[in-house]
């Protein structure tokens, strides 16, 4: 099935959201390589990708452009719903809540990690096993 340019635009948005932030940027060639992994049947042109980045920026998906060495442009999406410290606060609250089961803790933390880039998500704490005595009661109440 032939996919439209809208699909390409959405994939560019997804790549920028998941893999870039204020510390991690991506050049056009890296972006094209990522797109080729997702859409091997399509021919991708650097100029088209640049126009897609401009379109995303025009549609309020902020694409930050920085100049690197030798004038190479690097692109990133840095706007997030939550700051990193806010995500950490929420993860800490989830981990310290004794009435939430371990399974639900893992699920909630994975959902929170989807609100930021993969690099920042790796820095967030992982679920640690606490005493499960209170969690058993919560399952009955739920």
Class of 5-76 per CATH?
mainly alpha
Please name the residues in contact with 117: beta carbons below 8 A apart, sequence gap of 6 or more.
17, 18, 19, 20, 21, 24, 80
- Is a pLDDT exceeding 60 seen at residue 88? yes
Contact in structure between 28 and 124 (CB atoms under 8 Å): no
Whole-number pLDDT of residue 1 = 43
- Cα–Cα dist 63/74, whole Å: 10
Q: What is the pLDDT of residues 117-141, one digit of tens each?
A: 888 888 888 776 545 554 555 565 5
- Percentage of residues of the chain with pLDDT beyond 90: 34
Confidence of residue 12 (pLDDT cuts 50, 70, 90): very high
Domain boundary assignment for the chain: 5-76, 84-141
């Amino acid at each position: 099935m032939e996919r439209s340019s809208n699909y390409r635009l959405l994939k560019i948005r997804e790549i920028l959201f998941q893999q870039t932030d204020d510390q991690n940027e991506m050049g056009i060639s890296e972006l094209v390589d990522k797109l080729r992994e997702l859409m091997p049947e399509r021919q991708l042109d650097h100029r088209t990708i640049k126009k897609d980045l401009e379109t995303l920026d025009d549609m309020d998906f902020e694409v930050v452009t920085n100049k690197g060495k030798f004038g190479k442009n690097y692109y990133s999406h840095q706007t997030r719903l939550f700051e990193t410290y806010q995500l950490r606060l929420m993860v800490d609250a989830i981990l310290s809540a004794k009435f939430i089961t371990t399974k639900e803790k893992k699920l909630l933390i994975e959902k929170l990690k989807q609100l930021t880039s993969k690099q920042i998500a790796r820095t967030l704490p992982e679920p640690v096993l606490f005493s499960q005595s209170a969690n058993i009661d919560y399952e009955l109440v739920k």
